[in-house]
Amino acid sequence: MQETKVTLIYWGLSLFVFLALIPWIFNPILALKSIQALAIYGGIIVAFLGGIIWGWKIEHASSKNLWIAIGFSILGLLIALTTFINLTASLALLIVSLHAFLRFEKLNSEYFQLNIKYANARNLITNLVTICCITSIAFLNNPYT
């Protein structure tokens, strides 16, 4: 099961990388759509991560943690909606959200604490998605595009 989770984490990363590369290769109209898709996909992922908490063992799925799960799900929606108002802010919120969830998971998830391969993959993926977001922000604020 751990191998499947780690494999799926990397497959999820591939879409972030693909969407982050498009602006640097294709025209500006497609670039903006690609960055919007990246931010919306990121919002979906944050909401999905919040939902994971509902599947934790009883002792870790406390009432407080379930409320936090709902908060992350709402945060994912907020990221997706902010995409249509301010794309840079949406990407910045995505970065903060992913790192906040990673920290929360490190402190509260027994699975995270007991499975080093999964923990390493989650750390790496969070950092790589952050890089994808930063390169997208750089494209948006590039005076030459």
DSSP per position, 72-131: HHHHHHHHHHHTTT-HHHHHHHHHHHHHHHHHHHHHH-HHHHH-HHHHHHHHHHHHHHHH
Neighbouring CB atoms inside 10 A of 124's CB total: 13
| Residue 3: inside a domain | no
Question: What average pLDDT does the chain have?
Answer: 90
| Residue 57: inside a domain | yes
| Residue 25: inside a domain | no
Q: pTM for this one?
A: 0.90
Domain coverage including residue 136: 40-140
| Residue 56: inside a domain | yes
| Residue 123: inside a domain | yes
pLDDT-above-90 percentage for the chain: 63
Q: How many separate domains does the chain show?
A: 1
What whole-number distance in Å separates Cα of residue 139 and Cα of residue 31? Answer: 9
Per-residue pLDDT tens listing for the chain (145 residues)? 667 777 888 888 899 999 999 999 988 889 999 999 999 999 999 999 998 888 777 766 678 888 998 999 999 999 999 999 999 999 999 999 999 999 999 998 888 888 898 899 999 999 999 999 999 999 999 877 6
In this structure, what token pair is assigned to residue 93? 């919120």
Position 16 scores a pLDDT of 94
| Residue 35: inside a domain | no
Looking at residue 65, what DSSP letter applies? H
| Residue 54: inside a domain | yes
| Residue 120: inside a domain | yes
- Burial of residue 89 (CB within 10 Å: 0-12, 13-18, 19+) is middle
What whole-number distance in Å separates Cα of residue 46 and Cα of residue 41? Answer: 9
